[in-house]
Amino acid sequence: MPSPTPPSPNSPDRWFPTRKPLTEPRMRLFCFPFAGGSAAIYNAWGAGMPVGVELCAVQLPGRERRLMEKPIDSLPALVDALLPVLAPLLDRPFAFFGYSMGSRISLELTRRLHVRNGPMPRGLMLAAAGPPRENDREPIHHLPEAEFIANLRKYDGTPEEILQHRELLELLLPTLRADFALAWWENGNHPVKLDVPISAMGAVGDAHVPVAKLETWREETSNADFRVRHFPGGHFFIRQHQDAILTAVREDLARWMAPKP
């Protein structure tokens, strides 16, 4: 009996494992996770979307059902892999939501679409991150293992039980290193200035992204639709204030779905 054909690398089920397609979506919202995170952080968002919005939470290689796939540590290579998967779904208006690392991915995807004269998002929602032109963080993905793990603890994003579980940690370290490489990725010599609305979100207690840095996202766009929202909490305020974030997301989507004058 022949063995089953393995799923294509571009299979939508692989990249969007929780997507529930709508017959006639008014808009699609693509959501990208933080370093070490997965599509699962957006599991509760589907029920909170405005009518007609199709949620597409993106699952990157190296986590959950894709755990045995090699993680991608090059931002240009990740964009190369994502574009063919996204292309069939860009036939409707769409927007990007990125959290921390996901913000960097969202920006680079939009830049690449701009350069290719492709369809552009109605807006970018960028949370828990500053723009790459303001990148002053240490590239911790290059550190020796003990130092890298010590820095992971500072971010408070990886549960301590995982950091203490040697076998599980060894399995996850390549993905964590790759993700921090993506989050840190250099801005390039000639970054593209966009004409896309930007909604920046951050927390007043985020030690890694001061709220003042959120204002500098304005330099990435010539569009007048620019907003900054502050939330309580630290870098992972998405865990404690998801309802408030969803309220902001709905406000942005409703504005961007409105007919253009």
- The DSSP call for residue 193 is P
Quick check: 130 and 104 in contact, CB under 8 A?
no
Q: Report the chain's terminal Cα–Cα distance, integer Å.
A: 60
Distance in angstroms (rounded) separating the CA atoms of residues 228 and 215: 7
**Catalytic residue from among 100, 103, 106, 199:** 100
Is-catalytic flag, 100?
yes
3-class SS of residue 19: coil
Extended beta strands in the chain, E state: 27-32, 53-57, 94-99, 124-127, 198-203, 226-231
**Nearest Cα to Cα of residue 128 among 207, 182, 186:** 207
Phi-psi region of 188 (alpha: psi -120 to 50; beta: other; left: phi over 0): left
Distance in angstroms (rounded) separating the CA atoms of residues 139 and 129: 15
- List active site positions: 100
